[in-house]
């Protein structure tokens, strides 16, 4: 057994070194890192742009300063109230974009000057402020202390007891899950296609005949899958690590949000998923003899994976506990893409994970047997594309 594994190791090493030194690996890694950086930058910009609304007050409307500041938090708005010397200066500041709105005139019926239209939450804040000012004035006129009323009202309200309190880390978990699903999809598509290209390259250059006079087809196939799987894993670790580092620096990520279990499940599912898809890709690649024909045998596979990924990804963001995504994540070809995401989201019962793992393992075993047979039967046949029926015929001994 040791003797038959040495060639596998040699083949895996050749594939690994050839790819890691190749330009494609470097370019694709850098490209994804850049994409990741741009994404982080966009998210950061969106987050910082909705921080604080700046409201200018002038004249009698200055009385609204307190009510605005008290009303803003209930509308989920951060607000800075700035005194303006006069209406003209305030309106100029609005036009210059330094202020979001200028409030002037009668406090209970103020004039609000904005660039085009007020933000909805700012408008609600102003409505709250004016109505509370009007209410306080009315109550004072009726001999009621508005402060005492506020205190009495403030103590009222329901006490909510949740059977399942919402996870404060839900956002982080969703991010981890979706990120993991995306990386798995990306790695499997990229490196699976590389396995197929490698198989076709060996067939097209005919070197496969020399190699197969030294080693068995299963050794060549296994070495190839291990070598390229290793490259994919390396890239997964680099990209995943970079993603986590970005998240940690941005302060989004905190330890303990299922981080370790997510990383472990992404890696484990990657290994299983890659073995599954790489075998399918290799078998498909072995059917053709020219690089130009590769795409025609790969597209049915890549399109299936892509469709599954898009559907699953949407379900994952909209309804991670739904029946549809549960079923998809239990179907072997898609389990490797979505089970880790559901694990990260904390919505996958242990029983389902175990079931999906067992199903995928069984499915992979079948794929390995069939794919290995197709590969062994077709890898030495040059010329016309080999039909699946021929490829599944008698295996060579």
Partner 1 sequence: MLEIDGISKRFGSTVALDGMTFTVRPGELYGFVGANGAGKTTTMRIALGVLAADAGEVRLEGRALDAASRRRIGYMPEERGLYPRMAVGTQLRYLAELRGRSAADAREAADRWTERLGIADRRGDEVQRLSLGNQQRVQLAAALVAEPEVLVLDEPFSGLDPMAVDVMGEVLRERCDAGAPVVFSSHQLELVERLCDRVGIVRAGRLVAEGTVDDLRSASATELVVAAPHAPEGWAEVLPGVAATRSAESGLVLTLADGSEETITAVLDAARRTGPVHEFRRRRPALAEIYRDTVADRSAGVAA
| Distance separating the N- and C-terminal Cα atoms of the chain | 18
Of 6-14, 88-96, 224-232, 347-355, the segment contacting partner 1 by CB under 8 A is 6-14
DSSP string covering 316-370: HHH-TTSHHHHHHHHSTTTHHHHHHHHHHHT---HHHHHHHHHHHHHHHHHHHHH
Residue 27 beta carbon to partner 1: minimum distance, rounded to whole angstroms: 16
Cβ-based nearer residue to partner 1, 300 or 393: 393
CB 54 within 8 A of CB 61: no
Q: Is 14 in the site for partner 1 (CB under 8 A)?
A: yes
Of 2-10, 152-160, 297-305, 355-363, the segment contacting partner 1 by CB under 8 A is 2-10
Of 41-49, 87-95, 205-213, 290-298, the segment contacting partner 1 by CB under 8 A is 205-213
Q: Is 213 in the site for partner 1 (CB under 8 A)?
A: yes
Q: How far apart are CA 313 and CA 182, in angstroms?
A: 9
Of 81-89, 157-165, 210-218, 367-375, the segment contacting partner 1 by CB under 8 A is 210-218
Q: Is 216 in the site for partner 1 (CB under 8 A)?
A: yes
Burial degree of 158 (CB within 10 A; 0-12, 13-18, 19+): exposed
Cβ-based nearer residue to partner 1, 15 or 100: 15
CB 75 within 8 A of CB 127: no
Q: Is 4 in the site for partner 1 (CB under 8 A)?
A: yes
Cβ-based nearer residue to partner 1, 125 or 219: 219
Best CA proximity match to 184, nearest among 360, 39, 366, 368: 360
Q: How far apart are CA 147 and CA 193, in angstroms?
A: 70
Cβ-based nearer residue to partner 1, 123 or 390: 390
Burial degree of 85 (CB within 10 A; 0-12, 13-18, 19+): exposed
Cβ-based nearer residue to partner 1, 131 or 291: 291
CB 104 within 8 A of CB 113: yes
Cβ-based nearer residue to partner 1, 17 or 144: 17
Q: How far apart are CA 397 and CA 218, in angstroms?
A: 12
Cβ-based nearer residue to partner 1, 252 or 380: 380
CB 25 within 8 A of CB 236: no
Report the length, in residues, of the chain.
397
CB 257 within 8 A of CB 169: yes
Residue 323 beta carbon to partner 1: minimum distance, rounded to whole angstroms: 49
Residue 387 has φ and ψ, to the nearest 5°, of: -80, 155
Residue 214 beta carbon to partner 1: minimum distance, rounded to whole angstroms: 4
Q: Is 18 in the site for partner 1 (CB under 8 A)?
A: yes
Residue 205 beta carbon to partner 1: minimum distance, rounded to whole angstroms: 5
Spell out where the chain has E strands: 52-57, 78-83, 101-104, 111-113
Site string for partner 1, 369-388 (x = CB under 8 A): -----------x-x------
Q: Is 290 in the site for partner 1 (CB under 8 A)?
A: no
Number of residues that bind partner 1 (CB under 8 A): 26
Q: Is 27 in the site for partner 1 (CB under 8 A)?
A: no
Q: Which listed residue (20, 212, 237, 268) binds partner 1 by CB under 8 A?
A: 212
Residue 2 beta carbon to partner 1: minimum distance, rounded to whole angstroms: 12
Q: Is 211 in the site for partner 1 (CB under 8 A)?
A: yes
Q: Is 205 in the site for partner 1 (CB under 8 A)?
A: yes
Tokens representing residue 257 in the block: 């949000």
Binding site for partner 1 (CB under 8 A): 3-4, 6-7, 10-11, 14, 18, 201-202, 205-216, 380, 382, 396-397
């Amino acid at each position: 057994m040791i003797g038959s594994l040495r060639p596998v190791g040699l083949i895996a090493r050749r594939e690994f070194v050839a790819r890691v030194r190749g330009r494609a690996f470097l370019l694709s890694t850098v490209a994804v890192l850049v994409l990741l950086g741009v994404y982080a930058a966009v998210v950061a910009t969106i987050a910082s742009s909705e921080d604080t609304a700046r409201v200018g007050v002038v004249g009698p409307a200055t009385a609204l300063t307190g009510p605005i500041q008290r009303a803003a938090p209930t509308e989920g708005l951060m607000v800075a109230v700035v005194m303006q010397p006069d209406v003209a200066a305030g309106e100029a500041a609005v036009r210059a974009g330094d202020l979001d709105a200028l409030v002037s005139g009668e406090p209970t019926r103020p004039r609000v000057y904005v660039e085009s239209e007020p933000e909805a939450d700012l408008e609600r804040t102003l409505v709250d402020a004016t109505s509370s000012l009007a209410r306080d004035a009315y109550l004072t006129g009726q001999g009621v202390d508005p402060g005492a009323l506020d205190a009495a009202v403030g103590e009222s309200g329901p006490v909510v007891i949740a059977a399942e309190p919402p996870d404060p880390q839900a956002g982080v978990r969703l991010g981890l899950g979706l990120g993991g699903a995306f990386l798995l999809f990306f790695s499997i598509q990229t490196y699976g296609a590389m396995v197929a290209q490698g198989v076709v390259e060996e067939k097209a250059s005919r070197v496969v005949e020399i190699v197969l006079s030294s080693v068995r087809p299963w050794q060549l196939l296994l070495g190839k899958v291990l070598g390229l799987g290793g490259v994919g894993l390396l890239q997964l670790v680099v990209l995943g690590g970079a993603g986590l580092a970005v998240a940690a620096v941005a302060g989004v990520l905190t330890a303990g949000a299922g981080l370790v279990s997510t990383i472990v499940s992404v890696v484990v599912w990657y290994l299983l998923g890659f073995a599954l898809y790489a075998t399918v890709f290799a078998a498909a690649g072995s059917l053709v003899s020219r690089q130009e024909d590769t795409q025609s045998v790969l597209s049915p596979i890549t399109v299936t994976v892509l469709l599954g990924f898009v559907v699953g990804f949407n379900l994952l963001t909209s309804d991670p506990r739904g029946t549809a995504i549960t079923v998809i994540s239990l179907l072997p070809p898609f389990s490797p893409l979505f089970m880790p995401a559901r694990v990260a989201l904390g919505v996958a019962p242990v029983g389902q994970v175990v079931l999906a793992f067992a199903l995928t393992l069984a499915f992979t075993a079948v794929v390995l047997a069939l794919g290995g047979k197709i590969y062994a039967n077709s890898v030495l046949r040059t010329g016309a594309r080999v039909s699946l029926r021929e490829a599944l015929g008698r295996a060579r001994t």
